[in-house]
A and B are shown apart, each in its own frame.
Chain A
Amino acid sequence: MRSTWQYTLAGVVLVAGCAGMPGSSPTVSDAEVLQTLKASFKEHGIARLDRLDQSDLQQQCSRYATAPLPKDVRDRIAHDALASVKYPADGKYLGNWKEGEKIAQSGRGLQYNDTEKTVAGGNCYACHQLSKAEIAYGNIGPSLYNYGKLRGDSEATRKYTWVRIWNGHAYAPCNNMPRFGAAGILTEAQLKDVMALLLDPASPVNQ
Chain B
Amino acid sequence: MRRIPALLAVAAAIGVAAPAVRAQQGDTQAEIERYREMLQDGNPAELTVARGEDMWKQKRGPRQASLERCDLGKGPGVVKGAYAELPRYFADTDSVMDLEARLVHCQATLQGFDRAELVKKPFSGTAQRATDNEALVAYVVDQSRGMTVNVPQRHPKEIEAYQRGQKIFFFRGGPYDFSCASCHGEDDKRIRLQDLPNLLKKQPAQRAFTTWPAYRVSQGALRTMQWRLNDCFRQQRFPELEFISPASIDLITFLGVNAQGGKMNSPAIKR
Contacts and interface: CB of A to CB of B under 8 A. Distances in A.
Given A133-B19, A135-B18, A125 B192 contact: yes
Among B174, B177, B196, B245, residue most surrounded by chain A Cβ atoms (within 10 Å) = B177
A51 B174 contact: yes
A19 B153 contact: yes
Given A33-B168, A47-B240, A58-B173, A28 B163 contact: yes
A4 B239 CA distance: 44
Interface string B197-225: 00010000000000000000000000000
Nearest to A49: B239
Nearest to A132: B22
Interface in A171-199: 176, 178-179, 183-185
Contacts of B200: 22
Contact of B172 (A12, A54, A127): A54
Interface stretch (A38-46, A68-76, A88-96): A38-46
Contacts of B248: 40
Nearest to A134: B19
A80 interface: no
Nearest to B156: A12
A207 interface: no
Given A51-B174, A134-B19, A139-B189, A41 B28 contact: no
A44 B240 contact: yes
A52 B239 CA distance: 8
Given A19-B153, A112-B234, A176-B182, A26 B177 contact: no
B168 A51 contact: no
Contact of A15 (B156, B177, B192, B238): B156
Given A33-B171, A62-B170, A65-B179, A47 B239 contact: yes
B160 A28 contact: yes
A61 B21 CA distance: 39
A156 interface: no
A154 interface: no
B189 to A, nearest CB: 5
B235 A111 contact: yes
Contacts of B172: 54, 58, 61-62, 65
Shortest 4 CB-CB distances between A and B: which pairs?
A40-B247, A40-B245, A26-B163, A44-B240
Interface of B: 18-19, 21-23, 25, 28, 153-154, 156, 159-160, 162-164, 166-168, 170-179, 181-183, 185-186, 188-194, 196, 200, 233-235, 237-242, 245-248, 250, 257
Interface of A: 12, 15-16, 19-20, 22, 26-28, 30, 32-33, 36-37, 39-44, 47-49, 51-54, 57-58, 61-62, 65-66, 110-113, 125-127, 133-140, 176, 178-179, 183-185
9 contacts: A28-B164, A40-B242, A44-B240, A51-B237, A65-B185, A138-B192, A139-B190, A140-B183, A176-B178
